[in-house]
Structures are given as structure tokens and as C-alpha cells.
Amino acid sequence: MRDDQQVLEQPPVPSESEIDPSYAFDEPAPRTSPRSIMLSAGMLASAVLLAVLIVLPAPYAVNSPGPTRNVLGEHDGTPLIEIKGAETFPTTGELRLTTVSGTGGPGFPSSIRDVIGGWVSATSVVVPVETLYPPDASQDEINKSNNAEMVSSQENATVAALTELGYEVPATLTVAGTVEGSDAHGKIEKGDVIVSIDGVTVPDYTTLLDHLAGVDPGSTITLKVNRDGQPVDVPIVTGTKPDGTAQIGIFIDPTFDYPVDVKISIEDIGGPSAGTMFALGIVDKMTPQDETGGKNVAGTGTIDVNGDVGPIGGIQQKMPGALRDGATWFLAPSSNCNEVVGHVPEGLRVVKISTLHEAREAVTAIGAGKGDDLATCTS
């Protein structure tokens, strides 16, 4: 017997003389009716059925406000952004990336309890699971895709931030594939390295994008590539992107030669939507001006190497998550404004942005106490 065990003494059994006959034998015990038995059994069965239904998976996805992270700070003792090879400066405020927590994907099914909770919550959304996840996608495939998008967003953020600060970021632009149906399909090969476009040397991704910005869709450009060590000139009729600008019809896997060593450390968060906040964090750390001025600014948005901010999903969950974690300002991609209007929680000011430069100027204005005149989303 363990030392810490307690022994409970049983009370003595009363002798027959101690039993009150009038109490023990005054009336016979009531009989349980068949109806009572059936009613009790029905209630028990209903309780069991309800318990089973609550934990059964439901064909819905539930998205709710997820955790936020201050990209200027640390998480579990590790700085989210570390910079070597350039001077860095202290900051006093916060720049928070925002996330969405969800159930319903492969490996994380939503229960009926999750769905009911999502329906009654003012900050959650419930949608059919197939609207967010491919029916044949596995958990491993989704995780790999999210991780790849996160790595790409960090690369884009680093290039965009360093370019915003005046650095040149050389890149080797290797073709990863072509768009089927484009004029480049069948002409450009996987593994080709882009050397120039219309005679203009392409030392970095920005030069390629800047040149394409001045090309009329449908016109022919000449792309010089290095193929198996030999230069090859390839004429290509450009296509049209959704925004009306010209595109070549190729997928590029760039390899960047960073002039500054930037390391971004983050776990358990995937996808591309933190790119803008990463870029702002790099800019803030590498400039002597304390852009945030002690303010707590949250935001979201994809970013490309040219500094253009793109739309994201789940902004109606990210805004209340930001407010919950102390943010009073929120940077929203202008392309998400239709989802912002009418859903801004009280106490949060939204500023719309479309480029990293606009986002940087917005944070600087907010930090200086001049944010009231910044553009916001309107209907």
C-alpha cells in the first residue's frame, strides 16, 4: 500500500435493534413501470446519438481568426527576421502578420460541433469543404504546397524589400516550364536560362518585369536564352495577363544572389499571404527611422519581387484576429477591398495598399500620427 493512499473506514453496520422498523418496512418499494423504462432508455439512446453526432466529421470547412506574429519580434526565443551583412536598427512598434485557423482539410475534418460553432460565431465562416480543398488532395500534398508558397513569399519579400531600399539583387532566371497554348510552348525549353529580352540584358527579375510592362500584348519579343551552354534567340508572340499587360507564357524558377543575408524563421504557418508584412519588417529593421513609432500595425497580402501586393483569402477572419492581438491598424490589399467593406471590427482602422512602397509610406504615416488621411476601402 502506498504511503500517500488514504484508507477510508466503513461505518459499522447497525444491529437489528438499531433499525427503525417503521422506516425500513412501512411501505413496499415502488415498481418501475414499463413506460418509465422505455423513456429512460430513449433518453439514454438520444444522449449517445447526440454525442456521436457531435464528433462525427461534417462535409464543411470552418475558418476562424488564427494566431498573429510580430515580424519585428521573436517567437519562442527566435527572431522572426535576422539580418547579417548590413546595419540594423531598433524598433519600438509591431508589424503583425495575420493568419486563419481552419478545420475541414485532409487530416483535420470538421465535426458537427465545429460547424455549429462556426455558424454562431461572428468571426468565423463555414463553407462546403470542396470550395477550399481539392477532393483528391492529401494532407501531405497540401502541407508541401503551403510550405512551398511560404518559402517563395519569403524570397519575394526579401527581393522586394532590398530593391525598395536601393539594393540590386542579381538573379539567374531559369525556365521551369511553359504555359500550354502560349506561343512559348514548344519554343522555350525547361532549363533554359534567360539572358536578354529584345537585346536588353536581364541581370535580375525586376528588369524582365519592367521591360514587359512596356510591351503591347500580342506583339513579338525576342528572348535570348542560354540552352546547354549555347545562346539561342527565340521570337515569341506575347499573350495577355488578366490585368491587361503582356506575358511571355513561361514559368521561371529564379535563383537570387542576395547582397544582404536575410533569414526569416517561422513554423506552423504556410501559404503566401505574409509576404507584405515580411517585406515591411525587413525595411523597418534596415532603416534608422522607426517607421512604426510604437504603433501596433497588422496586415496581409502576397508580394512579388517587383513589390506589387496581391490578394489573399480569409481577410474577414484576419481583421478580428489582429484586433484581438492589440493591433489598431490593418493594411489590406486593395484587391481585397470588396471583402473588407462592412466587415471591419470596431476599433480597427483599415488602410488599402497595392505596393510595398505604399505600405511603407502608410506605416510611416501611422507611426508619425498622421494616418487619419490614408486611403481606406470603400464600397
Residue 119: HSE in the Cβ half-sphere, 13 Å Cα cutoff: 9
- Average pLDDT score over residue span 218-233: 95
- Contact status, residue 312 vs residue 336, Cβ threshold 8 Å: yes
Give the whole-angstrom CA distance, residue 154 versus residue 144. Answer: 15
Q: Please report how the helices 112-120 and 34-55 are oriented relative to each other, as an axis angle in degrees rounded to 10.
A: 80
- Contact status, residue 229 vs residue 258, Cβ threshold 8 Å: no
Q: Which residue has the higher pLDDT, 185 or 59?
A: 185
**Region for 149 from its dihedrals, namely left if φ exceeds 0, alpha if ψ lies in -120 to 50, beta otherwise:** alpha
* Amino acid residing at 133: Y
Enter the C-alpha cell of residue 343.
466587415
From 262, 278, 275, select the one nearest 82 (Cα to Cα). 262
Residue 12: HSE in the Cβ half-sphere, 13 Å Cα cutoff: 5
* The total number of residues written for the chain in this structure: 379
Enter the C-alpha cell of residue 250.
513561361
pLDDT at 38 over 70: no
DSSP class per residue in 251-319:
EEEEEE--SSEEEE---S--SSTTHHHHHHHHHHHTSSS-TTTT-EEEE--EE-TT-BEE--S-HHHHH
pLDDT at 2 over 50: no
pLDDT at 351 over 90: yes
pLDDT at 44 over 70: no
From 43, 32, 10, 67, select the one nearest 269 (Cα to Cα). 67
Burial class (CB in 10 A: 0-12, 13-18, 19+), 104: buried
Looking only at the bridges linking them, the beta strands covering 296-299 and 94-97 are parallel
User: Cell match 535563383: residue?
Assistant: 255
- Average pLDDT score over residue span 35-58: 53
DSSP class per residue in 329-342:
EEEEEGGGHHHHTT
pLDDT at 11: 43
> How sure is the predictor about 318, in pLDDT bands with cuts at 50, 70 and 90?
very high
Looking only at the bridges linking them, the beta strands covering 200-201 and 220-227 are unpaired
Enter the C-alpha cell of residue 233.
534567340
Measure the CA dihedral 141/80/292/290, to 10°: -140
From 194, 273, 249, select the one nearest 227 (Cα to Cα). 194
Enter the C-alpha cell of residue 205.
527579375
CB burial readout 32-42, b (16+ within 10 A) else e: eeeeeeeeeee
> How sure is the predictor about 15, in pLDDT bands with cuts at 50, 70 and 90?
very low
User: Cell match 488514504: residue?
Assistant: 6
pLDDT at 199: 95
> How sure is the predictor about 80, in pLDDT bands with cuts at 50, 70 and 90?
very high
| Measured CA angle at 115 (ends 114, 119), to 5 deg | 120
- Average pLDDT score over residue span 156-167: 96
pLDDT in tens, 117-134: 888 888 888 888 887 777
Considering the chain, what is the average pLDDT of its residues?
85
DSSP-assigned letter for residue 165: T
Give the whole-angstrom CA distance, residue 179 versus residue 38. Answer: 68
Give the whole-angstrom CA distance, residue 100 versus residue 10. Answer: 57
Alpha helices in 56-190 (DSSP H): 112-120, 139-164
User: Cell match 532603416: residue?
Assistant: 287
* Whether the predicted model's global pTM rises above the 0.85 cut: no
pLDDT at 290 over 60: yes
Q: Which residue has the higher pLDDT, 46 or 223?
A: 223
Flag the least confident range among 20-29, 204-213, 225-234, 253-262.
Answer: 20-29
Give the whole-angstrom CA distance, residue 302 versus residue 272. Answer: 6
Give the whole-angstrom CA distance, residue 37 versus residue 109. Answer: 37
- Average pLDDT score over residue span 310-334: 97
pLDDT at 50: 44
> How sure is the predictor about 166, in pLDDT bands with cuts at 50, 70 and 90?
very high
- Average pLDDT score over residue span 55-82: 86
Diameter over CA atoms, the chain? 116
Q: Name the phi and psi angles at 243, rounded to 5.
A: -85, 5
Give the whole-angstrom CA distance, residue 26 versus residue 54. Answer: 47
